[in-house]
Chains A and B, each alone.
Chain A
Amino acid sequence: MNHYVDFISQALEIIVALVAAPLLTGWVNQCRAWLQNKSAPSMLQPHRMLHKLFHKEVVMAEHASPLFRMEPYIIFGCMILACGIIPTLSTRLPLSSAADAIALVGLFALGRVFLALAAMDIGTAFGSMGSRREMFIGFLAEPALLMVLFSASLITNSTSLANIADNLTHRQLAIYPSLAFAGIAFTMVLLAENARVPVDNPATHLELTMIHEALLLEHSGRYLALMEWAASLKLFAYLCIGFAIFFPWGIAEAGHPFALILSIPVLAAKLAVGGALLAVIETASAKLRIFRVPEFLSMAFLMAVLGMLVHFLLGA
């Protein structure tokens, strides 16, 4: 019986991820618009755009290599796998043994590498520039993310995200300063990796200021749809990692089929709050100049290391 529940929860997670990710992006855009006193498009707009893009023809550069054709699928696959591993709805996931938290970071890195390669593949100036910047930010953000995950692992004695979430749910309610530091660091890394203000403005149309958008300039049709979907999935995945580590309550544990049903509205609520907070942070910050981004990210790294050190010192 439990076996089936596990498979169902795994499948449900992936489906929920696919459906909820564009909704999340739409929600964040809505919140941003409200905060800026504009009227927002509906939350379903990203879904409509994906639908539109899938029905459009692909226009591709003549000298694009097979790498360019494969890349959207690879990236989309990485993101789906990531969403499958992260315990969004349940901590008993058959796929979670495929990768622990550190391998998850590796998975994101794989996606990033292919993204950068594909953009350079076409050989345009903006593509290469975008790749460089993307790798630059990734290089600085990865250590910070790893440190955050290390802090969480040290507290819970496991590197598997599912186990971390499980462990933290079962503990007594206590204030963990090390997790507080790790939380701040994680937020900063989230902003950097998902191309949000203050690191990169997702709504910009000036190519010279683009980081993530520049990588998508050459894609069209279903490739663009997959890439946009992958970007939403990445944001969804990051938010869920944050919830798993810092707010793990509500995730269904093993052997509670009804809890699985309950966990969906809980996740929705958490995502709503998280998305709103993200919009607030984006609206309140100004975009950093590109040479200040290392400072921002070294601050994140610092917070994460501090969290670890504080854990060693205070045992908390």
Chain B
Amino acid sequence: MDHLLLLVLVTPLLGSIALVLLGHSEAAPEINVGFSLVTFVASVLLAAEVIAQGPTIFIGQYFFADSLSVFIAALTAFVGMTTSLFSRPYMRIERDNGRMTERRMRLYHSMYQLFMFTMLLALLSNNIGIMWVALESATLTVLLLVSIYRTAASVEAAWKYFILSGVGIALALLGTILLYLAAARHFGIAGDALLWTNLQSAKAYLEPATTSLAFVFLLVGYGTKMGLVPMHSWLPDAHAEGPTPISAVLSGLLLNVALYAVLRFKGLADGALQNGLPGKMLVGFGLVSVLVAAFSLSRQKDVKRMFSYSSIEHVGLMAFTFGVGGPIATYAGLLHMTAHSLVKSAIFFSVGHACQKAGTQIIADIRGLAHVSPTVGCGMMLGALAILGLPPFGVFSSEFLIVTTAVRELPWAAPLLILALGVAFATIFSRVQSMVFGETTAKPLAHSPALLPLFIHLGLALLLGLYIPPYLHAWYVQAAHIITG
């Protein structure tokens, strides 16, 4: 089992090094896909083992996997793989259009694998300090990736990301230190106080005042990486200016990992405080995020910015539902996490190709996708419908569960949620409709677009909506148990 975990972690790291050396070659995208595939297979095998055996500690206390972390790890590896499939033709077209050079391709691919490595390290590490280091390194790789086009706007987006993320991460470090302080009282000052497994078992002994302060800092810090309002202003810029595969990965992966960190800490804080404060804070931030994002959607002229605000909205929804707590809400949150990752990355796949076809990211200038490239247009339409919560896609089930739980637990919040969802629906649907239908003069693409990842994701989302396989259901229930403690 140790070997599987090592394989999961070492493969992207090796991939990064390999791509530094080979990144300029023509086959670099294929190498990228290869490494991502190996990572995915290893993570699935690991997941199977962990589900069978229960929560496990690996390699002498340094790594840890239970149903929750291994589930998100498998999801991460999956989305990483499909995005690398998408990035193959996409980046080739970008290079042909002149926006990428050989050197930048090398940087892009190696940073991509390095980013996957940091994500997986953050998920599988047992040491909250190492998790922090992994997320900080993820910040750095994203910084390089977002600015890869070297335009003025992308440099600006990356700088904003650096400042906001940097401050957020520093606050998260402060929270980590405070949590260590609270735990050190029980465990003594040694490395043990930083381990998840120890913290989980000693939840009740953590000093309340310090733990609540620590949780506040951790929520604000990791919440910045999640995209919670008011720390969200880096998100639209980063999505709009970076290459589309990175937007897909940011929305589909990084948000999830940050949410995972927040959830773990919420579990600890709930155990220590017993007063529901963490839940209330999550509900508050979540609700504000949903409302602000929904009402900001109509002002966006750039399609990627619009969908990035949609990501903020969904992250807010997830925060809200995890904050409400309880088995159904947590199950709904996990389902939503999966469905959102799949559907949002699918949308970005289709949006990426649409923008390449139209040569612009401005919504008003993209028209008639259905005529020029029926598959891309169809994909975008389906993706938009899926993310808006239309049945029978998975997002509908999770949103339904969230709203019904809200009606039961927090009646005053339910109308706000429904209002926000409705506003988002109207805005996105009208924009997407105008993009997909209408007349256009766009030209065909040089390389055939990556349709496989797009439709795999949509298919899975459909599956989630129609029929959740029993093993997946059991998986969710296990994970929900872990979160609610």
Direct contact of A and B (CB under 8 A): no
Binding site for A on B (CB under 8 A): none
